[in-house]
Amino acid sequence: MMKPFIRNDQFNFIKAQTKVLINGHVNANDPGVMKALKAVTLEKVLSLLPAPSEEEHDLLSSIASIKDKQDAENYLAKLIPFVIPFREVSDKTLLKLFPKVKKLKLPDLENVDLREVTYLGWNDIGQERKYLVTEDNGKLIGMRGTFKNHSQKGVCTICNSIGEIGMFITESKAAANGTYRNRGNYICQDSQACNRSLQSKEKLNAFIQHLQNR
Protein backbone atom coordinates (compact mmCIF):
# COMPACT_ATOMS: atom_id res chain seq x y z
CA MET A 1 0.00 0.00 0.00
CA MET A 2 1.28 3.44 -0.95
CA LYS A 3 2.38 5.73 1.86
CA PRO A 4 1.92 9.52 1.81
CA PHE A 5 4.53 11.01 -0.53
CA ILE A 6 3.31 14.50 -1.45
CA ARG A 7 4.14 17.56 0.68
CA ASN A 8 1.50 20.24 1.24
CA ASP A 9 3.35 22.78 -0.92
CA GLN A 10 3.63 20.19 -3.71
CA PHE A 11 -0.09 19.46 -3.47
CA ASN A 12 -0.79 23.20 -3.81
CA PHE A 13 1.43 23.30 -6.90
CA ILE A 14 -0.39 20.33 -8.43
CA LYS A 15 -3.72 21.99 -7.66
CA ALA A 16 -2.56 25.10 -9.53
CA GLN A 17 -1.58 22.94 -12.51
CA THR A 18 -5.08 21.44 -12.69
CA LYS A 19 -6.41 24.99 -13.15
CA VAL A 20 -3.93 25.51 -15.98
CA LEU A 21 -5.35 22.46 -17.76
CA ILE A 22 -8.96 23.56 -17.20
CA ASN A 23 -8.22 27.00 -18.64
CA GLY A 24 -6.41 25.36 -21.55
CA HIS A 25 -9.44 23.29 -22.48
CA VAL A 26 -11.61 26.42 -22.32
CA ASN A 27 -9.33 28.67 -24.37
CA ALA A 28 -7.21 26.47 -26.62
CA ASN A 29 -8.82 25.67 -29.96
CA ASP A 30 -5.79 23.95 -31.44
CA PRO A 31 -5.46 20.27 -30.42
CA GLY A 32 -1.70 20.57 -30.85
CA VAL A 33 -1.52 23.40 -28.33
CA MET A 34 -3.56 21.40 -25.85
CA LYS A 35 -1.35 18.34 -26.32
CA ALA A 36 1.75 20.43 -25.65
CA LEU A 37 0.13 21.98 -22.57
CA LYS A 38 -0.66 18.53 -21.17
CA ALA A 39 2.92 17.39 -21.76
CA VAL A 40 4.41 20.44 -20.03
CA THR A 41 2.00 20.16 -17.09
CA LEU A 42 2.74 16.47 -16.66
CA GLU A 43 6.48 17.12 -16.75
CA LYS A 44 6.19 19.80 -14.07
CA VAL A 45 4.16 17.56 -11.77
CA LEU A 46 6.40 14.51 -12.18
CA SER A 47 9.50 16.64 -11.58
CA LEU A 48 8.30 17.24 -8.01
CA LEU A 49 9.54 13.75 -7.14
CA PRO A 50 13.09 12.74 -8.08
CA ALA A 51 12.33 9.02 -8.23
CA PRO A 52 8.62 8.19 -7.97
CA SER A 53 7.55 4.58 -7.69
CA GLU A 54 5.44 3.10 -10.47
CA GLU A 55 2.28 3.57 -8.40
CA GLU A 56 3.16 7.15 -7.53
CA HIS A 57 3.98 7.88 -11.18
CA ASP A 58 0.68 6.44 -12.38
CA LEU A 59 -1.34 8.37 -9.80
CA LEU A 60 0.29 11.71 -10.63
CA SER A 61 0.19 11.08 -14.38
CA SER A 62 -3.60 10.91 -14.43
CA ILE A 63 -3.55 14.72 -14.26
CA ALA A 64 -3.23 14.65 -18.05
CA SER A 65 -6.83 13.40 -18.34
CA ILE A 66 -8.32 16.48 -16.65
CA LYS A 67 -10.71 18.42 -18.87
CA ASP A 68 -12.97 20.31 -16.45
CA LYS A 69 -13.48 21.32 -12.83
CA GLN A 70 -15.16 18.04 -11.88
CA ASP A 71 -12.24 16.04 -13.28
CA ALA A 72 -9.86 18.19 -11.25
CA GLU A 73 -11.82 17.72 -8.03
CA ASN A 74 -11.88 13.95 -8.53
CA TYR A 75 -8.14 13.88 -9.23
CA LEU A 76 -7.25 15.99 -6.19
CA ALA A 77 -9.53 13.88 -3.98
CA LYS A 78 -7.47 10.84 -4.97
CA LEU A 79 -4.25 12.65 -4.00
CA ILE A 80 -5.34 13.94 -0.59
CA PRO A 81 -4.80 10.61 1.26
CA PHE A 82 -1.19 10.71 0.06
CA VAL A 83 -0.35 14.17 1.34
CA ILE A 84 2.29 14.02 4.09
CA PRO A 85 0.92 15.67 7.24
CA PHE A 86 3.00 18.09 9.26
CA ARG A 87 4.45 16.44 12.35
CA GLU A 88 1.97 16.22 15.20
CA VAL A 89 2.89 18.61 17.98
CA SER A 90 1.49 19.09 21.45
CA ASP A 91 1.17 22.18 23.62
CA LYS A 92 4.09 20.83 25.64
CA THR A 93 6.25 20.62 22.51
CA LEU A 94 5.46 24.21 21.57
CA LEU A 95 6.26 25.43 25.08
CA LYS A 96 9.67 23.78 24.82
CA LEU A 97 10.33 25.53 21.50
CA PHE A 98 9.74 28.93 23.12
CA PRO A 99 11.13 28.53 26.66
CA LYS A 100 11.79 32.25 27.17
CA VAL A 101 8.20 33.28 26.45
CA LYS A 102 6.06 33.75 29.53
CA LYS A 103 2.37 32.96 29.09
CA LEU A 104 2.82 31.74 25.52
CA LYS A 105 -0.40 32.01 23.55
CA LEU A 106 -0.87 28.59 21.95
CA PRO A 107 -2.62 27.87 18.64
CA ASP A 108 -5.85 25.87 18.43
CA LEU A 109 -4.24 22.66 17.20
CA GLU A 110 -7.51 20.71 17.18
CA ASN A 111 -8.78 22.80 14.27
CA VAL A 112 -5.61 22.48 12.19
CA ASP A 113 -5.57 19.94 9.34
CA LEU A 114 -1.90 18.91 9.37
CA ARG A 115 -2.10 17.83 5.72
CA GLU A 116 -2.66 21.50 4.86
CA VAL A 117 0.39 22.69 6.78
CA THR A 118 3.93 23.33 5.55
CA TYR A 119 4.65 25.35 8.68
CA LEU A 120 2.69 26.24 11.81
CA GLY A 121 2.06 29.92 12.32
CA TRP A 122 -0.13 31.85 14.73
CA ASN A 123 -0.55 35.39 16.02
CA ASP A 124 -0.67 36.89 19.50
CA ILE A 125 -2.46 40.10 18.54
CA GLY A 126 -2.40 41.55 22.06
CA GLN A 127 1.40 41.28 22.25
CA GLU A 128 1.90 42.11 18.55
CA ARG A 129 3.82 38.89 18.09
CA LYS A 130 3.79 36.04 15.62
CA TYR A 131 5.17 32.51 16.02
CA LEU A 132 6.43 30.19 13.29
CA VAL A 133 7.25 26.49 13.64
CA THR A 134 8.83 24.52 10.82
CA GLU A 135 11.04 21.48 10.27
CA ASP A 136 14.68 21.43 9.25
CA ASN A 137 16.26 18.02 8.64
CA GLY A 138 13.65 16.38 10.83
CA LYS A 139 14.09 18.85 13.68
CA LEU A 140 11.42 21.32 14.78
CA ILE A 141 12.44 24.98 14.76
CA GLY A 142 10.53 27.76 16.49
CA MET A 143 10.84 31.41 15.46
CA ARG A 144 9.30 34.28 17.43
CA GLY A 145 9.04 37.82 16.19
CA THR A 146 7.21 41.10 16.49
CA PHE A 147 4.41 41.36 13.96
CA LYS A 148 2.38 44.38 12.99
CA ASN A 149 -0.40 44.11 10.46
CA HIS A 150 -0.21 47.13 8.19
CA SER A 151 -3.74 46.58 6.81
CA GLN A 152 -2.33 46.54 3.33
CA LYS A 153 -1.97 44.05 0.52
CA GLY A 154 1.44 42.99 -0.66
CA VAL A 155 3.60 40.04 -1.64
CA CYS A 156 4.37 37.53 1.11
CA THR A 157 8.02 36.49 1.40
CA ILE A 158 7.01 32.92 2.27
CA CYS A 159 4.28 32.02 -0.22
CA ASN A 160 5.00 34.69 -2.85
CA SER A 161 1.30 35.47 -3.26
CA ILE A 162 -0.57 38.74 -2.77
CA GLY A 163 -2.58 39.11 0.42
CA GLU A 164 -2.89 40.91 3.74
CA ILE A 165 0.67 41.19 5.04
CA GLY A 166 2.60 42.48 8.04
CA MET A 167 6.24 42.93 8.99
CA PHE A 168 7.71 40.00 10.93
CA ILE A 169 10.93 40.93 12.75
CA THR A 170 13.22 38.85 14.95
CA GLU A 171 16.02 40.14 17.15
CA SER A 172 19.26 38.19 17.40
CA LYS A 173 22.58 38.86 19.07
CA ALA A 174 25.49 39.52 16.74
CA ALA A 175 28.38 37.19 17.52
CA ALA A 176 31.08 39.81 17.06
CA ASN A 177 30.32 42.55 19.59
CA GLY A 178 27.26 41.45 21.53
CA THR A 179 24.94 43.96 19.86
CA TYR A 180 21.50 42.99 18.63
CA ARG A 181 20.42 42.83 15.00
CA ASN A 182 16.91 42.87 13.59
CA ARG A 183 15.99 40.62 10.69
CA GLY A 184 12.65 40.11 8.97
CA ASN A 185 10.36 40.77 6.06
CA TYR A 186 6.71 41.01 5.05
CA ILE A 187 4.68 37.81 5.42
CA CYS A 188 1.00 36.87 5.42
CA GLN A 189 -1.06 37.90 8.40
CA ASP A 190 -3.10 34.69 8.09
CA SER A 191 -0.71 31.72 8.25
CA GLN A 192 -3.42 29.24 7.23
CA ALA A 193 -4.06 31.22 4.05
CA CYS A 194 -0.31 31.38 3.51
CA ASN A 195 -0.05 27.60 3.77
CA ARG A 196 -2.82 27.20 1.20
CA SER A 197 -0.97 29.47 -1.23
CA LEU A 198 2.52 28.06 -0.66
CA GLN A 199 3.65 26.13 -3.76
CA SER A 200 7.36 25.76 -2.98
CA LYS A 201 9.07 25.21 0.36
CA GLU A 202 12.25 26.88 -0.93
CA LYS A 203 11.13 30.40 -0.08
CA LEU A 204 10.08 29.33 3.42
CA ASN A 205 13.47 27.69 3.98
CA ALA A 206 15.27 30.79 2.68
CA PHE A 207 13.25 33.04 5.00
CA ILE A 208 14.02 30.90 8.06
CA GLN A 209 17.71 30.85 7.16
CA HIS A 210 17.64 34.64 6.79
CA LEU A 211 16.12 34.98 10.27
CA GLN A 212 18.78 32.66 11.67
CA ASN A 213 21.51 34.66 9.95
CA ARG A 214 22.68 31.61 8.00
pLDDT in tens, 188-211: 999 999 999 999 999 999 999 888
For residues 185 and 167, the answer to whether their CB atoms sit within 8 Å is: yes
Q: Residue 174 pLDDT > 60, yes or no?
A: no
Residues across the chain: 214
DSSP string spanning 57-97? HHHHHGGGG--SHHHHHHHHHHHGGGBPPPPP--HHHHHHH
The per-residue pLDDT for 137 is 83
The per-residue pLDDT for 93 is 94
Q: Residue 110 pLDDT > 90, yes or no?
A: no
156 compared with 150, residue with greater pLDDT:
156
What is the number of other CB atoms lying within 10 angstroms of the CB of residue 142?
A: 18
Architecture label for domain 8-82: Up-down Bundle (1.20)
Half-sphere exposure of 52 (CA within 13 A, CB side): 19
How far is CA 32 from its chain centroid?
34
The per-residue pLDDT for 152 is 84
The two beta strands, 162-173 and 180-188, are antiparallel
pLDDT interval class at 126 (50, 70, 90): confident
For residues 78 and 66, the answer to whether their CB atoms sit within 8 Å is: no
How far is CA 110 from its chain centroid?
19
Handedness of CA 144, 150, 151, 152 (dihedral sign): negative
End-to-end CA distance of the chain: 40
Q: Residue 212 pLDDT > 70, yes or no?
A: yes
| Calpha distance 103→45 (Å, rounded) | 44
95: Cβ contacts below 8 Å, ≥ 6 apart: 104, 106
Kindly list the distances between the CA atom of residue 190 and the CA atoms of 88, 132, 171, in Å, as whole numbers in the listed order: 20, 12, 22
- Reported as type and span, the H/E element at residue 17 is helix 8-27
**What pLDDT, in 10s, does the model give residues 62-103?**
999 999 999 999 999 999 999 999 999 999 999 999 998 988
Domain coordinates of the chain in residue numbers? 8-82, 91-211
Which letter, b or e, does each residue of 82-109 get, where b requires 16 or more Cβ atoms within 10 Å of its Cβ?
bbeebeebeeeebeebeeebeebeebee
Q: Residue 181 pLDDT > 80, yes or no?
A: no
What pTM was computed for the model?
0.90
